[in-house]
Structure 1
Amino acid sequence: MAEIALHNLVKTYPGGTTRATDEVSLHVADGEFMVLLGPSGCGKTTLLRMVAGLELPDGGQIVIGGKDVTYLEPRRRNLSMVFQSYAVFPHRRVADNIGFGLRMRGVDPAEIKRKVAWAAEVLQLTPYLDRYPAKLSGGQRQRVAVARAIVMDAEVLLMDEPLSNLDALLRLSFRAELKKLVAELGTTTLYVTHDQVEALSLGDRVAVMRQGRIVQCDAPTTVYDQPAEEFVGGFIGSPPMNFLTGTVVRDNAGVLRLDLGAHSVAVPETLRGYTGRELRLGVRPEAFGVATGGAPEGLGAELEVFEPLGSAVLLTLTLSGHQLKVQAAADFRATPGDRLTLTLPAERCRWYDPETHLLLETA
């Protein structure tokens, strides 16, 4: 079994005052594709490098396949790594690049040839085996790096932002190829990225990092639909989640509502403890219903900016002094200055404590 278990990993930056990783614990199941997602400087690459053995932790434990490898040198950890910068040898042909690690292990030449041919076929590199990297595109060079990693039959595959140097179209096509390949291999994979689309599309689970800590680790749909804290909702999504702050009150009918000024939104009765206090409402841009004109049951908002995106329309609106981003259908039409009506299904609302910024249970 190639499970990865990280226990309270600590890594301190030089100087000893700031932690790159702050007691991080994470379990990656055998065969799972786990993505570490977060902004630059959050500690995700440092965490990956500690798993690889390229950096040593200041505290904690790393277990791979039931074996403590915390201070074991990289070559004894039975893992392969794909770097952001490809890290292919410019003076070696593609076939030699792919088989390099096997030769270093002293594998029989006939077996090396067989494995190189297999990896080249899987990654569509067979026509390029006799070429040098300078004659390859960026996507082809990244395929070489991946091929070199998979021929090693390692228990664990580590990837550090392997698609970040590719242009948008190459990134899209290679992402699909990579997901299919890893699923076929069944290799336990730990993948680092700052790109939320990559994270949500590739990962079986996504671990979102912030300031050296994992703040949420869930299935991609859960991370998107139910951000565990405001940071996750504000980091994931393009545009990100909207947040509205208001005071919880009871209206004349006894219904709990979030007072936003000229408008209000129904609040779950389970949050009655916030009566008379502030509460934060989080809503994804696509969660709103939107129509032109006014309606007594909706939320009146004024359109500031209209942006057609092809597959959808992005609206920037003002609602009771709050600015909102709302996504509408591609055929929706309106002009800046128009009065629009928003509707908001209760099941699409997410509620956050204004002090802790954590998601509140409403069931």
Structure 2
Amino acid sequence: MAEVILRDLVKTYPGGSTRATDQVSLEVSDGEFMVLLGPSGCGKTTLLRMIAGLELPDSGQIVIGGNDVTYLEPRRRNLSMVFQSYAVFPNKKVADNIGFGLRVRGVPADEIRRKVAWAADLLQLTPYLDRYPAKLSGGQRQRVAVARAIVMDADVLLMDEPLSNLDALLRLSFRAELKKLVGQLGTTTIYVTHDQLEALSLGDRVAVMRDGAIVQCGPPTAVYDGPATEFVGGFLGSPPMNFLTGTVEVDDAGPRIDLGGQSLPVPAGLASLRGRKLDLGIRPEAIVVGADNPDDNALVGELQVLEPLGSSTLLTTDVSGQVVKIQARPSFRADQGSALKLHLPPLACRWYDPETGLLLEQSA
């Protein structure tokens, strides 16, 4: 069993004024692939290093496999870690790099050879076992680092932005390989990244971090489709979620949000917010341009910029003085300054309190 439980972990930077992690609690199930996602400086790497034992918390508890390891030295935690840099020994051949940790543990030579061969086969490194790292590509060197980690039969595999040093094309292919590998191993994995595509494609669950705290945790699709805060909606997505600010008004037809001359219906339960500001959040790909609008959920936007991207066309529009981006079909074309009818499906709309940035109950 390799369940990881974090309870109220606090870590303060030197000086004591800023917390790297602020009472972080998280449970990672046995065999789960958990991704810690967030911008630089949000505390995700510090959290990973505390799990590894490379940093000690000021307070809180770390439990792995039912054992309290909060202050246990790293070598006694039975973890493996893959770092952002390749971290391979330049003076050792691939086979020696992969088997290094096993030799340190005093594992018999025959067992080392068997495990090295197994890992090399799994990561397509067999032809390179007699080469030095200088003769390998960046992707191959990172495979060596991963192979060295998995031969250790660790309870938990920790990864700190392992793909960040690879170019875009290599990152895409290695991401798929990594997902397949972790699925085959079934090892509990905690993976740190600032890349939202990595997080959404790799994780069984994604924990989004900001300012040392986890602001939302859940399956990738749930976090993407239902951001709990405007920060999450604005961080996930390329382009990110649109936010339109308006005022709640109520008439005979029910509550609506006034966006400065244009308006849309809001959920009936939000009528109690009459006269208050409200933020409408909607993903660019959810907006349909020029569609029939039987439910009267449409706005008119003036086209500012059209960017053909191959797989889609990105539109930047002005809606009553607010910027709205739309991912339209690849063949869509229109002239700058054109008035576009923008249909916003009600089920795709999310409503937020602009003061707190928190998601309001959609059924309200």
**Same fold per TM (> 0.5)?**
yes
1:292–1:279 distance in 2 versus 1, CA, 3 Å: closer
Paired with 2:20 and 2:149, the residues of 1 have a C-alpha distance of 27
Structure 2 match to 1:93: 93
Do structure 1's residue 282 and structure 2's residue 289 form an aligned pair? no
What is the count of residue pairs matched by the alignment? 362
Shift of 1:292: 9.0
Structure 2 match to 1:258: 257
Q: Secondary structure at the residue paired with 1:46?
A: helix
Question: Do the aligned partners of 1:294 and 1:300 also contact (CA within 8 Å) in 2?
Answer: no
Identity of aligned residues (%): 75
Shift of 1:293: 12
Any idea what the Cα deviations from partners look like across 1:304-330, whole Å, max 9, x if unmatched? Answer: 000000010000000011111111011
TM-score (norm. length: structure 1): 0.98
Question: Do the aligned partners of 2:248 and 2:274 also contact (CA within 8 Å) in 1?
Answer: yes
Question: Do the aligned partners of 2:91 and 2:132 also contact (CA within 8 Å) in 1?
Answer: yes
Q: Secondary structure at the residue paired with 2:253?
A: coil
Structure 2 match to 1:165: 165
Structure 2 match to 1:56: 56
Moved over 4 A (4+): 292-297
Paired with 2:208 and 2:293, the residues of 1 have a C-alpha distance of 40
Question: Do the aligned partners of 2:207 and 2:214 also contact (CA within 8 Å) in 1?
Answer: yes
Paired residue type of 1:126: T
Structure 2 match to 1:177: 177
Paired with 2:11 and 2:220, the residues of 1 have a C-alpha distance of 27
Paired with 1:296 and 1:115, the residues of 2 have a C-alpha distance of 62
Paired with 1:248 and 1:292, the residues of 2 have a C-alpha distance of 25
Once the two structures are superposed, the pairs formed by residues 119-268 of structure 1 within 5 Å of their partners are 119-251=119-251, 253-268=252-267
Paired residue type of 1:261: G
Once the two structures are superposed, the pairs formed by residues 348-359 of structure 1 within 5 Å of their partners are 348-359=348-359
TM-score (norm. length: structure 2): 0.98
Paired residue type of 2:26: L
Do structure 1's residue 34 and structure 2's residue 26 form an aligned pair? no
Shift of 1:254: 3.1
Structure 1 match to 2:83: 83
Q: Secondary structure at the residue paired with 1:360?
A: coil
Paired with 1:329 and 1:146, the residues of 2 have a C-alpha distance of 39
Paired with 1:301 and 1:152, the residues of 2 have a C-alpha distance of 57
Once the two structures are superposed, the pairs formed by residues 274-353 of structure 1 within 5 Å of their partners are 274-291=273-290, 297=296, 298-353=298-353
Paired with 2:37 and 2:116, the residues of 1 have a C-alpha distance of 32
Paired with 2:25 and 2:160, the residues of 1 have a C-alpha distance of 19
Paired with 2:268 and 2:170, the residues of 1 have a C-alpha distance of 49
Question: Do the aligned partners of 1:23 and 1:213 also contact (CA within 8 Å) in 2?
Answer: yes
Shift of 1:287: 1.1
Paired residue type of 1:280: D
Question: Do the aligned partners of 1:301 and 1:317 also contact (CA within 8 Å) in 2?
Answer: yes
Question: Do the aligned partners of 1:294 and 1:339 also contact (CA within 8 Å) in 2?
Answer: no
Paired with 1:17 and 1:105, the residues of 2 have a C-alpha distance of 41
Any idea what the Cα deviations from partners look like across 1:79-132, whole Å, max 9, x if unmatched? Answer: 100000011000000000000000000001000000000000000000000000
Structure 2 match to 1:362: 362
Question: Do the aligned partners of 1:33 and 1:190 also contact (CA within 8 Å) in 2?
Answer: yes
Q: Secondary structure at the residue paired with 2:10?
A: strand
Shift of 1:271: 1.2
